[in-house]
């Protein structure tokens, strides 16, 4: 009895390792972490829309993020839990993407035989560049609106003030717009490949998948680029 338990654990561990090392395992990891990141990005965008209701509402929303989980968790407890999950998801997503690219490069014969492979290669390249831009954007964004390190006039806990004064710098707004356009393309292609990785690759799902990916990517992108534009044209001040 006692010897059987470690043997079962070993079998499970080696199955998990084998799954992680397979192309299908990496695609599954990308799909599951992708869903988590998509949901988070959507909720983040929806929360930011509160900025249009007014400074009190927006700052109250930022306050809610600190106290959510109370009284079960201490202040910022749930926030740190979500941050940890985000870090793990981003790390796994990038690891799986990099390793899949390397596997594909090793497996692919030199040159392309037909147009489909050419367009698949184009989408993959767009995803890689989009991914790099998004990572650079998130690093800048955290230093800008969370830590205030690169912000010209950061006031701790006055998120509305940081938002407006941050986007009044035109080149910062321009960078946010470019990065969010790259994010929109990444979301569109990512959603499309996620459906395929989850087995919905049949032609009859194509229009449904395209519609969903387009609407989701468009809503997030339009809302996100509306924030710097609203500040630049004086709608938010």
Q: Does position 173 bind ligand HEM by CB under 6 A?
A: no
Count of positions on this chain that bind ligand HEM (CB under 6 A): 21
Report yes or no: 197 and 31 within 8 Å, Cβ to Cβ. yes
Question: What DSSP string describes 182-232?
Answer: HHHHHHHHHHHHHHHHTT--SGGGHHHHHHHHHHHHHHHHHHHHHHHHHHH
Among 35, 60, 65, 68, binds ligand HEM (CB under 6 A): 65
- The distance of closest approach from Cβ of residue 144 to ligand HEM in the complex, given in angstroms and rounded to an integer, is 8
- The distance of closest approach from Cβ of residue 194 to ligand HEM in the complex, given in angstroms and rounded to an integer, is 16
Question: What DSSP string describes 96-119?
Answer: HHHHHHHHHHHHSPSS-SSHHHHH
Among 49, 68, 78, 138, binds ligand HEM (CB under 6 A): 138
Query: Which DSSP symbol is given to 109?
Result: P
Which range in 24-32, 67-75, 137-145, 195-203 contacts ligand HEM by CB under 6 A? 137-145
Q: Does position 159 bind ligand HEM by CB under 6 A?
A: yes
- CA dist., res. 50 & res. 59, Å (int): 9
SS3 call for 158: coil
Binding site for ligand HEM (CB under 6 A): 41, 44, 48, 62, 65, 79, 83, 134, 138, 141-142, 145-146, 159, 163, 176, 180, 183, 224, 227-228
């Amino acid at each position: 009895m006692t010897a059987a338990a470690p043997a079962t654990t070993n079998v499970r561990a080696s199955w998990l390792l084998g799954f992680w090392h397979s192309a299908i395992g990496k695609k599954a990891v990308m799909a599951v972490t992708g869903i988590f990141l998509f949901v988070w990005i959507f909720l983040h965008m929806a929360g930011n829309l509160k900025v249009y209701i007014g400074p009190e509402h927006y700052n109250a929303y930022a306050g809610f993020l600190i106290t959510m989980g109370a009284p079960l968790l201490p202040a910022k407890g749930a926030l740190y839990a979500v941050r940890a999950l985000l870090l793990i998801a981003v790390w796994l997503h990038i690891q799986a993407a990099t390793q899949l690219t390397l596997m594909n490069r090793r497996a692919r014969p030199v040159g392309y035989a037909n147009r489909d492979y050419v367009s698949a290669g184009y989408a993959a390249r767009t995803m890689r560049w989009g991914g790099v831009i998004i990572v650079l954007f998130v690093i800048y964004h955290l230093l800008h609106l969370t830590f205030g390190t690169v912000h010209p006039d950061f006031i701790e806990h006055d998120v509305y003030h940081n938002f407006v004064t941050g986007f009044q710098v035109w080149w910062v707004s321009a960078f946010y717009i470019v990065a969010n356009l790259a994010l929109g393309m990444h979301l569109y292609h990512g959603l499309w490949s996620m459906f395929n990785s989850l087995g919905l690759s049949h032609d009859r799902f194509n229009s449904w998948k395209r519609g969903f990916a387009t609407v989701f990517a468009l809503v997030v992108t339009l809302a996100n680029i509306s924030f710097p534009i609203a500040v630049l044209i004086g709608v938010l001040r």
